[in-house]
Structure 1
Amino acid sequence: MSEKNAQHPARAGVIVVAAGSGQRLGHGIPKARVLCAGRTLLEHALESVIASGVAGAVVVVLPAGDPVLSAVVAEAALRSVYPTSITAVAGGATRAASVRAGLAALPPTVGVVLVHDAARAITPPAVFQRVAALVSAGASAVIPVLPVVDTIKVVEDGIVTATPDRALLRAVQTPQGFDADALRAAHAGDAAGDATITDDAMLMEASGVPVRVVEGDALAFKVTTPFDLVVAEAVLAAGVANDAAGPAGSVDLPAPARTGTTPTPTSRSSRVPQ
Protein backbone atom coordinates (compact mmCIF):
# COMPACT_ATOMS: atom_id res chain seq x y z
CA MET A 1 0.00 0.00 0.00
CA SER A 2 1.24 3.51 -0.73
CA GLU A 3 2.95 5.65 1.91
CA LYS A 4 0.03 8.10 1.83
CA ASN A 5 -2.50 5.37 2.58
CA ALA A 6 -0.32 3.88 5.31
CA GLN A 7 -0.31 7.28 7.02
CA HIS A 8 -4.07 7.73 6.60
CA PRO A 9 -5.61 4.29 7.00
CA ALA A 10 -9.29 3.80 6.25
CA ARG A 11 -11.66 0.94 5.82
CA ALA A 12 -12.36 -0.10 2.29
CA GLY A 13 -14.33 2.02 -0.10
CA VAL A 14 -16.70 -0.19 -2.09
CA ILE A 15 -17.89 0.81 -5.55
CA VAL A 16 -21.01 -1.14 -6.53
CA VAL A 17 -21.46 -0.91 -10.29
CA ALA A 18 -25.21 -1.06 -10.95
CA ALA A 19 -25.54 0.92 -14.19
CA GLY A 20 -25.97 -2.03 -16.58
CA SER A 21 -28.88 -2.05 -19.02
CA GLY A 22 -29.79 -5.71 -18.49
CA GLN A 23 -30.57 -6.35 -22.16
CA ARG A 24 -29.57 -10.02 -22.03
CA LEU A 25 -31.78 -10.56 -19.00
CA GLY A 26 -34.74 -9.46 -21.08
CA HIS A 27 -36.80 -7.59 -18.47
CA GLY A 28 -36.74 -4.23 -20.21
CA ILE A 29 -35.41 -2.43 -17.13
CA PRO A 30 -31.91 -1.87 -15.71
CA LYS A 31 -30.57 -5.16 -14.38
CA ALA A 32 -30.10 -3.90 -10.83
CA ARG A 33 -33.86 -3.21 -10.64
CA VAL A 34 -34.85 -6.75 -11.55
CA LEU A 35 -36.53 -8.59 -8.68
CA CYS A 36 -34.97 -11.76 -7.31
CA ALA A 37 -36.92 -13.52 -4.56
CA GLY A 38 -38.96 -10.37 -4.03
CA ARG A 39 -36.10 -7.88 -3.79
CA THR A 40 -34.00 -6.05 -6.35
CA LEU A 41 -30.62 -7.42 -7.30
CA LEU A 42 -29.13 -4.20 -5.94
CA GLU A 43 -30.68 -4.79 -2.52
CA HIS A 44 -29.20 -8.27 -2.37
CA ALA A 45 -25.79 -6.93 -3.44
CA LEU A 46 -25.83 -4.19 -0.81
CA GLU A 47 -26.77 -6.71 1.86
CA SER A 48 -23.64 -8.72 1.09
CA VAL A 49 -21.44 -5.61 1.11
CA ILE A 50 -22.79 -4.47 4.47
CA ALA A 51 -22.67 -7.93 6.03
CA SER A 52 -19.00 -8.33 5.08
CA GLY A 53 -17.97 -5.68 7.60
CA VAL A 54 -15.17 -4.31 5.39
CA ALA A 55 -16.71 -1.10 4.03
CA GLY A 56 -16.24 2.38 5.42
CA ALA A 57 -17.91 4.00 2.41
CA VAL A 58 -20.13 2.56 -0.32
CA VAL A 59 -20.69 4.34 -3.62
CA VAL A 60 -23.39 2.85 -5.84
CA VAL A 61 -23.08 3.73 -9.53
CA LEU A 62 -26.57 3.89 -11.05
CA PRO A 63 -28.15 4.55 -14.43
CA ALA A 64 -28.65 8.31 -14.69
CA GLY A 65 -32.07 9.44 -13.51
CA ASP A 66 -33.32 6.08 -12.23
CA PRO A 67 -35.79 6.90 -9.43
CA VAL A 68 -36.33 3.31 -8.29
CA LEU A 69 -32.66 2.49 -7.72
CA SER A 70 -32.02 5.95 -6.28
CA ALA A 71 -34.75 5.22 -3.72
CA VAL A 72 -33.16 1.86 -2.87
CA VAL A 73 -29.83 3.57 -2.15
CA ALA A 74 -31.46 6.43 -0.23
CA GLU A 75 -33.37 4.00 1.97
CA ALA A 76 -30.25 1.93 2.61
CA ALA A 77 -28.32 5.08 3.52
CA LEU A 78 -31.08 6.22 5.86
CA ARG A 79 -31.51 2.94 7.70
CA SER A 80 -28.02 1.45 7.73
CA VAL A 81 -25.72 2.04 10.70
CA TYR A 82 -22.72 0.38 9.08
CA PRO A 83 -20.97 1.15 6.78
CA THR A 84 -20.53 4.79 7.58
CA SER A 85 -21.89 6.11 4.30
CA ILE A 86 -23.88 4.90 1.31
CA THR A 87 -24.20 7.28 -1.63
CA ALA A 88 -25.17 7.11 -5.28
CA VAL A 89 -23.67 8.64 -8.42
CA ALA A 90 -24.66 8.44 -12.07
CA GLY A 91 -22.73 6.01 -14.25
CA GLY A 92 -21.00 6.73 -17.53
CA ALA A 93 -21.29 5.38 -21.05
CA THR A 94 -18.91 2.48 -20.28
CA ARG A 95 -18.11 0.34 -17.27
CA ALA A 96 -14.72 2.05 -16.96
CA ALA A 97 -16.39 5.46 -16.92
CA SER A 98 -18.79 4.25 -14.24
CA VAL A 99 -15.93 3.02 -12.07
CA ARG A 100 -14.16 6.37 -12.48
CA ALA A 101 -17.34 8.13 -11.34
CA GLY A 102 -17.40 5.90 -8.28
CA LEU A 103 -13.73 6.54 -7.56
CA ALA A 104 -14.26 10.28 -7.71
CA ALA A 105 -17.04 10.02 -5.12
CA LEU A 106 -15.04 8.04 -2.55
CA PRO A 107 -13.46 9.87 0.39
CA PRO A 108 -9.80 10.76 -0.30
CA THR A 109 -8.68 8.90 2.84
CA VAL A 110 -9.80 5.54 1.46
CA GLY A 111 -6.75 3.33 0.96
CA VAL A 112 -8.43 0.12 -0.20
CA VAL A 113 -11.03 0.07 -2.98
CA LEU A 114 -13.28 -2.86 -3.85
CA VAL A 115 -15.15 -2.80 -7.17
CA HIS A 116 -18.20 -5.05 -7.23
CA ASP A 117 -20.82 -5.85 -9.85
CA ALA A 118 -24.38 -5.58 -8.52
CA ALA A 119 -25.24 -8.43 -10.89
CA ARG A 120 -23.18 -10.74 -8.64
CA ALA A 121 -25.92 -10.15 -6.14
CA ILE A 122 -25.52 -13.11 -3.78
CA THR A 123 -21.75 -13.04 -3.41
CA PRO A 124 -20.98 -14.28 0.12
CA PRO A 125 -19.53 -11.68 2.52
CA ALA A 126 -16.49 -13.91 3.05
CA VAL A 127 -15.34 -13.18 -0.51
CA PHE A 128 -15.26 -9.45 0.26
CA GLN A 129 -13.29 -10.20 3.40
CA ARG A 130 -10.67 -12.31 1.62
CA VAL A 131 -10.11 -9.72 -1.08
CA ALA A 132 -9.97 -6.77 1.32
CA ALA A 133 -7.59 -8.56 3.67
CA LEU A 134 -5.00 -9.25 0.97
CA VAL A 135 -5.08 -5.68 -0.36
CA SER A 136 -4.87 -4.39 3.20
CA ALA A 137 -1.78 -6.57 3.66
CA GLY A 138 -0.02 -4.80 0.79
CA ALA A 139 -1.21 -6.27 -2.52
CA SER A 140 -1.94 -3.67 -5.20
CA ALA A 141 -4.60 -5.73 -6.99
CA VAL A 142 -6.55 -8.82 -5.91
CA ILE A 143 -9.28 -10.80 -7.66
CA PRO A 144 -11.43 -13.74 -6.53
CA VAL A 145 -11.23 -16.69 -8.91
CA LEU A 146 -12.51 -20.23 -9.42
CA PRO A 147 -10.88 -23.08 -11.37
CA VAL A 148 -12.32 -23.61 -14.84
CA VAL A 149 -14.07 -26.98 -15.02
CA ASP A 150 -14.91 -27.02 -18.73
CA THR A 151 -12.43 -27.58 -21.52
CA ILE A 152 -11.90 -24.27 -23.32
CA LYS A 153 -11.33 -23.97 -27.05
CA VAL A 154 -10.02 -21.05 -29.08
CA VAL A 155 -12.18 -20.81 -32.21
CA GLU A 156 -11.60 -18.73 -35.34
CA ASP A 157 -14.01 -18.78 -38.28
CA GLY A 158 -15.71 -21.88 -36.90
CA ILE A 159 -12.45 -23.83 -36.57
CA VAL A 160 -10.76 -24.80 -33.30
CA THR A 161 -7.27 -23.32 -33.34
CA ALA A 162 -6.08 -24.06 -29.80
CA THR A 163 -6.96 -25.76 -26.53
CA PRO A 164 -5.49 -23.91 -23.53
CA ASP A 165 -4.32 -25.93 -20.55
CA ARG A 166 -7.34 -25.89 -18.24
CA ALA A 167 -5.10 -26.15 -15.19
CA LEU A 168 -3.80 -22.65 -15.92
CA LEU A 169 -7.22 -21.03 -16.38
CA ARG A 170 -9.37 -19.31 -13.77
CA ALA A 171 -12.82 -17.74 -13.94
CA VAL A 172 -12.74 -14.22 -12.50
CA GLN A 173 -15.39 -12.79 -10.17
CA THR A 174 -15.95 -9.66 -8.10
CA PRO A 175 -15.37 -7.87 -5.81
CA GLN A 176 -11.97 -6.96 -7.18
CA GLY A 177 -9.74 -5.17 -4.71
CA PHE A 178 -7.10 -2.51 -5.26
CA ASP A 179 -4.77 -0.10 -3.58
CA ALA A 180 -6.65 3.17 -4.13
CA ASP A 181 -3.67 5.11 -5.48
CA ALA A 182 -2.73 2.32 -7.89
CA LEU A 183 -6.30 2.09 -9.21
CA ARG A 184 -6.59 5.84 -9.71
CA ALA A 185 -3.25 5.89 -11.52
CA ALA A 186 -4.35 3.07 -13.81
CA HIS A 187 -7.58 4.87 -14.68
CA ALA A 188 -5.58 8.00 -15.47
CA GLY A 189 -3.03 6.14 -17.62
CA ASP A 190 -2.81 5.34 -21.31
CA ALA A 191 -4.38 1.88 -20.95
CA ALA A 192 -7.64 3.36 -19.63
CA GLY A 193 -8.73 4.22 -23.16
CA ASP A 194 -8.38 0.65 -24.46
CA ALA A 195 -11.88 -0.56 -25.36
CA THR A 196 -10.78 -4.21 -25.19
CA ILE A 197 -10.19 -3.98 -21.43
CA THR A 198 -13.19 -5.54 -19.70
CA ASP A 199 -12.54 -4.98 -16.00
CA ASP A 200 -10.29 -3.18 -13.55
CA ALA A 201 -8.00 -6.16 -13.00
CA MET A 202 -7.29 -6.26 -16.73
CA LEU A 203 -6.60 -2.52 -16.62
CA MET A 204 -4.10 -3.06 -13.81
CA GLU A 205 -2.44 -5.84 -15.81
CA ALA A 206 -2.10 -3.51 -18.79
CA SER A 207 -0.60 -0.90 -16.48
CA GLY A 208 2.08 -3.32 -15.29
CA VAL A 209 0.60 -3.95 -11.83
CA PRO A 210 0.77 -7.54 -10.53
CA VAL A 211 -2.67 -9.02 -9.87
CA ARG A 212 -2.97 -11.60 -7.10
CA VAL A 213 -5.79 -14.09 -6.61
CA VAL A 214 -7.86 -15.41 -3.72
CA GLU A 215 -10.48 -18.13 -3.63
CA GLY A 216 -13.82 -17.09 -5.10
CA ASP A 217 -17.18 -18.72 -4.50
CA ALA A 218 -19.72 -20.47 -6.69
CA LEU A 219 -22.38 -18.11 -5.32
CA ALA A 220 -20.54 -15.10 -6.74
CA PHE A 221 -21.89 -15.87 -10.21
CA LYS A 222 -23.15 -13.06 -12.43
CA VAL A 223 -26.88 -12.82 -13.11
CA THR A 224 -26.83 -12.22 -16.86
CA THR A 225 -29.50 -14.47 -18.39
CA PRO A 226 -33.00 -15.57 -17.32
CA PHE A 227 -31.50 -18.93 -16.32
CA ASP A 228 -29.06 -17.19 -13.97
CA LEU A 229 -31.98 -15.40 -12.32
CA VAL A 230 -33.80 -18.69 -11.78
CA VAL A 231 -30.67 -20.14 -10.17
CA ALA A 232 -30.25 -17.13 -7.88
CA GLU A 233 -33.88 -17.36 -6.77
CA ALA A 234 -33.52 -21.08 -6.08
CA VAL A 235 -30.37 -20.49 -4.03
CA LEU A 236 -32.09 -17.81 -1.96
CA ALA A 237 -35.19 -19.95 -1.48
CA ALA A 238 -33.03 -22.81 -0.23
CA GLY A 239 -31.16 -20.57 2.20
CA VAL A 240 -27.81 -21.60 0.72
CA ALA A 241 -26.60 -18.02 0.36
CA ASN A 242 -27.09 -17.31 4.06
CA ASP A 243 -25.42 -20.57 5.07
CA ALA A 244 -22.36 -19.75 2.93
CA ALA A 245 -21.88 -16.29 4.41
CA GLY A 246 -18.77 -15.62 6.43
CA PRO A 247 -18.96 -13.83 9.79
CA ALA A 248 -19.27 -10.08 9.41
CA GLY A 249 -16.30 -8.02 10.48
CA SER A 250 -13.86 -10.92 10.75
CA VAL A 251 -11.28 -9.40 8.40
CA ASP A 252 -8.34 -7.54 9.91
CA LEU A 253 -8.43 -4.12 8.26
CA PRO A 254 -6.89 -0.80 9.32
CA ALA A 255 -9.10 1.24 11.63
CA PRO A 256 -11.42 3.80 10.02
CA ALA A 257 -9.79 7.21 9.53
CA ARG A 258 -12.26 9.22 11.58
CA THR A 259 -13.00 10.21 15.15
CA GLY A 260 -15.85 9.10 17.36
CA THR A 261 -17.39 5.74 18.02
CA THR A 262 -16.90 3.05 15.40
CA PRO A 263 -20.26 1.55 14.38
CA THR A 264 -20.73 -2.14 14.99
CA PRO A 265 -20.92 -4.19 11.76
CA THR A 266 -24.30 -5.66 10.96
CA SER A 267 -24.80 -9.40 10.93
CA ARG A 268 -25.70 -11.36 7.81
CA SER A 269 -29.32 -11.47 9.02
CA SER A 270 -29.56 -7.67 8.84
CA ARG A 271 -31.40 -6.68 5.70
CA VAL A 272 -31.09 -3.69 3.44
CA PRO A 273 -34.48 -1.93 3.69
CA GLN A 274 -36.97 -2.97 1.05
Structure 2
Amino acid sequence: MLTAVVPAAGAGKRMGLGYNKAFADLGGAPVIVQCLKMLAKTGVVDFAVVVFAPAEVDAGKALLIKYQEEYFPKLGFTVVAGGKERQDSVMNALAAVPAATDYIAVHDGARPFAGREVFARTLAAARAHGAAIAAVPVKNTIKVVDAGGVVVATPERSTLQAVQTPQIFTAKLLKDAYNHLAQHPAAVTDDASVVELLGHKVVVALGRYENIKITTPEDLALAPYLLAQQENEDGK
Protein backbone atom coordinates (compact mmCIF):
# COMPACT_ATOMS: atom_id res chain seq x y z
CA MET A 1 0.00 0.00 0.00
CA LEU A 2 1.30 3.46 -0.95
CA THR A 3 0.13 6.43 1.10
CA ALA A 4 0.84 9.99 -0.04
CA VAL A 5 1.58 12.61 2.59
CA VAL A 6 0.61 15.94 1.02
CA PRO A 7 1.86 19.08 2.80
CA ALA A 8 -0.41 22.02 1.94
CA ALA A 9 -0.04 24.22 5.00
CA GLY A 10 2.19 26.94 3.54
CA ALA A 11 1.19 30.59 3.77
CA GLY A 12 2.17 31.20 0.15
CA LYS A 13 3.65 34.65 0.79
CA ARG A 14 5.56 34.67 -2.52
CA MET A 15 2.30 34.13 -4.38
CA GLY A 16 0.85 37.34 -2.96
CA LEU A 17 -2.72 36.02 -2.90
CA GLY A 18 -3.40 36.78 0.74
CA TYR A 19 -4.50 33.18 1.30
CA ASN A 20 -3.12 29.66 1.00
CA LYS A 21 -2.09 28.96 -2.60
CA ALA A 22 -3.51 25.44 -2.21
CA PHE A 23 -6.94 27.08 -2.47
CA ALA A 24 -6.13 29.07 -5.63
CA ASP A 25 -8.22 28.22 -8.69
CA LEU A 26 -6.61 26.08 -11.36
CA GLY A 27 -8.79 24.94 -14.24
CA GLY A 28 -12.02 25.23 -12.28
CA ALA A 29 -10.85 23.59 -9.06
CA PRO A 30 -8.40 24.47 -6.27
CA VAL A 31 -4.74 23.56 -6.73
CA ILE A 32 -4.91 20.97 -3.92
CA VAL A 33 -7.88 19.29 -5.62
CA GLN A 34 -5.97 19.08 -8.91
CA CYS A 35 -3.07 17.59 -6.98
CA LEU A 36 -5.22 14.84 -5.47
CA LYS A 37 -6.75 14.19 -8.89
CA MET A 38 -3.24 13.67 -10.24
CA LEU A 39 -2.39 11.33 -7.35
CA ALA A 40 -5.47 9.26 -8.10
CA LYS A 41 -4.58 9.15 -11.80
CA THR A 42 -1.14 7.66 -11.06
CA GLY A 43 -2.81 4.34 -10.30
CA VAL A 44 -0.30 3.63 -7.50
CA VAL A 45 -1.44 5.93 -4.67
CA ASP A 46 -3.97 4.23 -2.39
CA PHE A 47 -4.57 6.90 0.25
CA ALA A 48 -3.65 10.53 0.99
CA VAL A 49 -2.95 12.36 4.23
CA VAL A 50 -3.38 16.07 3.49
CA VAL A 51 -1.82 18.63 5.82
CA PHE A 52 -3.41 22.06 6.23
CA ALA A 53 -2.61 24.86 8.65
CA PRO A 54 -4.54 24.36 11.91
CA ALA A 55 -6.92 27.24 11.14
CA GLU A 56 -7.67 25.76 7.69
CA VAL A 57 -8.30 22.13 8.60
CA ASP A 58 -12.10 22.33 8.66
CA ALA A 59 -12.34 24.40 5.48
CA GLY A 60 -9.76 22.22 3.73
CA LYS A 61 -11.58 19.02 4.63
CA ALA A 62 -14.93 20.43 3.50
CA LEU A 63 -13.33 21.51 0.22
CA LEU A 64 -11.91 18.07 -0.51
CA ILE A 65 -15.20 16.39 0.33
CA LYS A 66 -16.97 18.78 -2.04
CA TYR A 67 -14.74 17.91 -5.00
CA GLN A 68 -13.98 14.25 -4.25
CA GLU A 69 -16.76 12.61 -6.22
CA GLU A 70 -15.93 14.50 -9.41
CA TYR A 71 -12.13 14.68 -9.22
CA PHE A 72 -10.81 11.72 -7.19
CA PRO A 73 -13.72 9.41 -6.28
CA LYS A 74 -11.60 6.33 -5.54
CA LEU A 75 -8.86 8.02 -3.53
CA GLY A 76 -9.44 7.89 0.21
CA PHE A 77 -8.03 10.71 2.31
CA THR A 78 -7.80 12.23 5.74
CA VAL A 79 -6.84 15.74 6.83
CA VAL A 80 -4.47 16.68 9.67
CA ALA A 81 -3.19 19.94 11.14
CA GLY A 82 0.30 21.09 10.29
CA GLY A 83 2.99 22.24 12.68
CA LYS A 84 5.33 25.22 12.95
CA GLU A 85 7.75 23.96 10.32
CA ARG A 86 7.30 21.66 7.33
CA GLN A 87 9.06 18.83 9.13
CA ASP A 88 6.57 19.20 12.01
CA SER A 89 3.72 18.94 9.50
CA VAL A 90 5.12 15.74 8.01
CA MET A 91 5.59 14.29 11.49
CA ASN A 92 1.91 15.00 12.25
CA ALA A 93 0.90 13.35 8.98
CA LEU A 94 2.94 10.22 9.70
CA ALA A 95 0.80 9.58 12.77
CA ALA A 96 -2.26 9.40 10.50
CA VAL A 97 -0.78 7.05 7.89
CA PRO A 98 -2.75 3.76 7.77
CA ALA A 99 -1.04 0.83 9.47
CA ALA A 100 -1.14 -1.26 6.27
CA THR A 101 1.07 1.26 4.44
CA ASP A 102 4.26 -0.22 2.96
CA TYR A 103 5.56 2.93 1.25
CA ILE A 104 5.05 6.62 1.90
CA ALA A 105 5.30 9.25 -0.83
CA VAL A 106 5.73 12.80 0.42
CA HIS A 107 4.42 15.07 -2.32
CA ASP A 108 3.94 18.84 -2.28
CA GLY A 109 0.32 19.94 -2.43
CA ALA A 110 1.37 22.70 -4.85
CA ARG A 111 2.87 20.19 -7.35
CA PRO A 112 -0.12 18.91 -9.36
CA PHE A 113 1.86 17.99 -12.51
CA ALA A 114 4.09 15.09 -11.44
CA GLY A 115 2.06 12.49 -13.33
CA ARG A 116 1.92 8.71 -13.37
CA GLU A 117 5.29 8.06 -15.04
CA VAL A 118 7.25 10.04 -12.46
CA PHE A 119 5.44 8.26 -9.64
CA ALA A 120 6.03 4.87 -11.28
CA ARG A 121 9.75 5.51 -11.71
CA THR A 122 10.20 6.86 -8.19
CA LEU A 123 8.23 4.02 -6.61
CA ALA A 124 10.23 1.42 -8.54
CA ALA A 125 13.47 2.99 -7.31
CA ALA A 126 12.16 3.11 -3.73
CA ARG A 127 11.22 -0.57 -3.90
CA ALA A 128 14.76 -1.37 -5.03
CA HIS A 129 16.63 0.91 -2.63
CA GLY A 130 14.24 1.89 0.18
CA ALA A 131 14.46 5.62 -0.56
CA ALA A 132 14.08 7.51 -3.84
CA ILE A 133 13.38 11.05 -4.97
CA ALA A 134 12.27 12.57 -8.25
CA ALA A 135 14.75 15.03 -9.74
CA VAL A 136 15.84 16.51 -13.06
CA PRO A 137 19.28 17.50 -14.33
CA VAL A 138 20.08 21.17 -13.84
CA LYS A 139 20.09 23.04 -17.15
CA ASN A 140 21.83 26.24 -16.09
CA THR A 141 25.30 26.84 -14.71
CA ILE A 142 25.08 27.25 -10.93
CA LYS A 143 27.25 29.69 -8.97
CA VAL A 144 27.92 29.66 -5.25
CA VAL A 145 28.11 33.23 -3.97
CA ASP A 146 29.03 34.78 -0.64
CA ALA A 147 27.04 37.32 1.37
CA GLY A 148 28.47 40.11 -0.73
CA GLY A 149 27.35 38.57 -4.01
CA VAL A 150 30.83 37.47 -5.04
CA VAL A 151 31.16 34.14 -6.83
CA VAL A 152 33.18 31.70 -4.72
CA ALA A 153 32.62 28.42 -6.59
CA THR A 154 31.10 26.91 -9.73
CA PRO A 155 29.93 23.33 -9.13
CA GLU A 156 30.22 20.85 -11.97
CA ARG A 157 26.80 21.00 -13.62
CA SER A 158 26.76 17.30 -14.53
CA THR A 159 26.68 16.43 -10.82
CA LEU A 160 23.70 18.66 -10.00
CA GLN A 161 20.04 17.65 -9.86
CA ALA A 162 17.02 19.86 -9.13
CA VAL A 163 15.03 17.92 -6.56
CA GLN A 164 11.26 17.56 -6.81
CA THR A 165 8.58 15.46 -5.19
CA PRO A 166 7.42 12.72 -4.92
CA GLN A 167 9.99 11.49 -2.46
CA ILE A 168 9.16 7.87 -1.66
CA PHE A 169 10.42 5.72 1.21
CA THR A 170 9.56 2.52 2.98
CA ALA A 171 7.12 3.45 5.74
CA LYS A 172 9.42 2.13 8.46
CA LEU A 173 12.45 4.03 7.16
CA LEU A 174 10.65 7.38 6.99
CA LYS A 175 9.09 6.96 10.43
CA ASP A 176 12.43 5.92 11.92
CA ALA A 177 14.09 8.92 10.28
CA TYR A 178 11.58 11.38 11.70
CA ASN A 179 11.81 9.82 15.15
CA HIS A 180 15.58 10.27 14.94
CA LEU A 181 15.12 13.89 13.88
CA ALA A 182 12.85 14.52 16.86
CA GLN A 183 15.60 13.27 19.17
CA HIS A 184 18.43 14.99 17.27
CA PRO A 185 17.05 18.27 15.84
CA ALA A 186 18.67 19.53 12.67
CA ALA A 187 17.90 21.93 9.84
CA VAL A 188 16.46 20.00 6.87
CA THR A 189 15.00 21.19 3.60
CA ASP A 190 13.31 18.02 2.38
CA ASP A 191 12.38 14.53 3.51
CA ALA A 192 15.35 12.93 1.81
CA SER A 193 17.58 15.03 4.06
CA VAL A 194 15.85 13.52 7.09
CA VAL A 195 16.55 10.01 5.81
CA GLU A 196 20.13 10.94 4.93
CA LEU A 197 20.72 11.87 8.59
CA LEU A 198 20.24 8.18 9.38
CA GLY A 199 23.02 7.34 6.95
CA HIS A 200 20.64 5.72 4.48
CA LYS A 201 21.39 6.22 0.80
CA VAL A 202 18.79 7.97 -1.34
CA VAL A 203 18.65 7.36 -5.09
CA VAL A 204 17.34 9.67 -7.81
CA ALA A 205 14.58 8.79 -10.27
CA LEU A 206 13.96 10.94 -13.32
CA GLY A 207 11.32 13.59 -12.71
CA ARG A 208 9.98 15.97 -15.35
CA TYR A 209 10.58 19.64 -15.96
CA GLU A 210 6.82 20.26 -16.04
CA ASN A 211 6.61 19.08 -12.42
CA ILE A 212 6.84 22.61 -11.03
CA LYS A 213 5.90 23.68 -7.54
CA ILE A 214 3.39 26.52 -7.88
CA THR A 215 5.08 29.20 -5.81
CA THR A 216 4.93 32.55 -7.63
CA PRO A 217 2.33 34.42 -9.73
CA GLU A 218 4.32 33.40 -12.82
CA ASP A 219 3.93 29.74 -11.88
CA LEU A 220 0.18 30.16 -11.48
CA ALA A 221 -0.03 31.85 -14.90
CA LEU A 222 1.81 28.90 -16.49
CA ALA A 223 -0.17 26.26 -14.60
CA PRO A 224 -3.27 26.14 -16.88
CA TYR A 225 -1.08 25.18 -19.85
CA LEU A 226 0.61 22.43 -17.86
CA LEU A 227 -2.78 21.22 -16.65
CA ALA A 228 -4.08 21.00 -20.22
CA GLN A 229 -0.99 19.04 -21.21
CA GLN A 230 -1.45 16.63 -18.32
CA GLU A 231 -5.12 16.11 -19.09
CA ASN A 232 -4.22 15.25 -22.68
CA GLU A 233 -1.69 12.72 -21.42
CA ASP A 234 -4.17 11.20 -18.99
CA GLY A 235 -7.14 11.32 -21.35
CA LYS A 236 -8.89 13.74 -18.96
Normalised by the size of structure 1, how large is the TM-score? 0.80
Aligned with residue 38 of structure 2, among 48, 51, 58: 48
Residue 14 (str. 1) matches residue 4 (str. 2): yes
Aligned with residue 82 of structure 1, among 69, 74, 86: 74
Cα distance in 1, alignment partners of residues 116 and 59 from structure 2: 25
Residue identity in the other structure for 1:25: M
Q: Please give the per-residue CA displacement for 1:207-246, whole angstroms capped at 9, x wherever unaligned.
A: 211001111011211111100111112333xx2122344x
Q: Please give the per-residue CA displacement for 1:19-48, whole angstroms capped at 9, x wherever unaligned.
A: 111110000001201112332110110011
Normalised by the size of structure 2, how large is the TM-score? 0.92
**How far apart are residue 81 of structure 1 and its match?**
4.2
Residue 210 (str. 1) matches residue 201 (str. 2): yes
Cα distance in 2, alignment partners of residues 120 and 81 from structure 1: 20
2:96 aligns with 105
Residue 145 (str. 1) matches residue 138 (str. 2): no
Structure with bigger RCO (C-alpha 8 Å, 6+ apart): 1
Cα distance in 2, alignment partners of residues 109 and 234 from structure 1: 37
2:229 aligns with 240
Matches within 5 A, 1:60-79: 60-66=50-56, 67-76=58-67
Q: Alignment identity in percent?
A: 36
Q: How many positions carry a matched residue from both structures? A: 232
**How far apart are residue 82 of structure 1 and its match?**
2.1
Cα distance in 1, alignment partners of residues 138 and 221 from structure 2: 22
Pair 143,47 (structure 1): closer, same or farther in 2 beyond 3 Å: same
Q: Please give the per-residue CA displacement for 1:145-168, whole angstroms capped at 9, x wherever unaligned.
A: 101001000000211000000000
Name whichever structure is richer in helix by fraction.
2
**How far apart are residue 190 of structure 1 and its match?**
4.1
8 Å contact 1:60–1:73 — kept in the other structure? no
Cα distance in 2, alignment partners of residues 52 and 23 from structure 1: 30
Cα distance in 2, alignment partners of residues 235 and 76 from structure 1: 21
Pair 159,182 (structure 1): closer, same or farther in 2 beyond 3 Å: same
2:48 aligns with 58
2:222 aligns with 231
Matches within 5 A, 1:147-166: 147-156=137-146, 157-166=148-157
**How far apart are residue 78 of structure 1 and its match?**
5.9
1:262 aligns with none
Aligned with residue 94 of structure 1, among 70, 85, 94: 85
8 Å contact 2:7–2:90 — kept in the other structure? yes
8 Å contact 2:181–2:194 — kept in the other structure? no
Cα distance in 1, alignment partners of residues 87 and 101 from structure 2: 19
Cα distance in 1, alignment partners of residues 40 and 2 from structure 2: 12
Cα distance in 1, alignment partners of residues 158 and 85 from structure 2: 32
Q: Please give the per-residue CA displacement for 1:35-87, whole angstroms capped at 9, x wherever unaligned.
A: 1233211011001100011122211111113243222222355665423x211
8 Å contact 1:219–1:241 — kept in the other structure? no
8 Å contact 2:114–2:207 — kept in the other structure? no
Residue identity in the other structure for 2:196: E
- In structure 2, stretches of 5+ residues that fail to align are none
Residue identity in the other structure for 2:157: R
Cα distance in 2, alignment partners of residues 49 and 69 from structure 1: 17
Residue 126 (str. 1) matches residue 117 (str. 2): yes
**Between 118-127 and 209-218, the greater mean CA deviation after superposition:** 118-127
2:166 aligns with 175
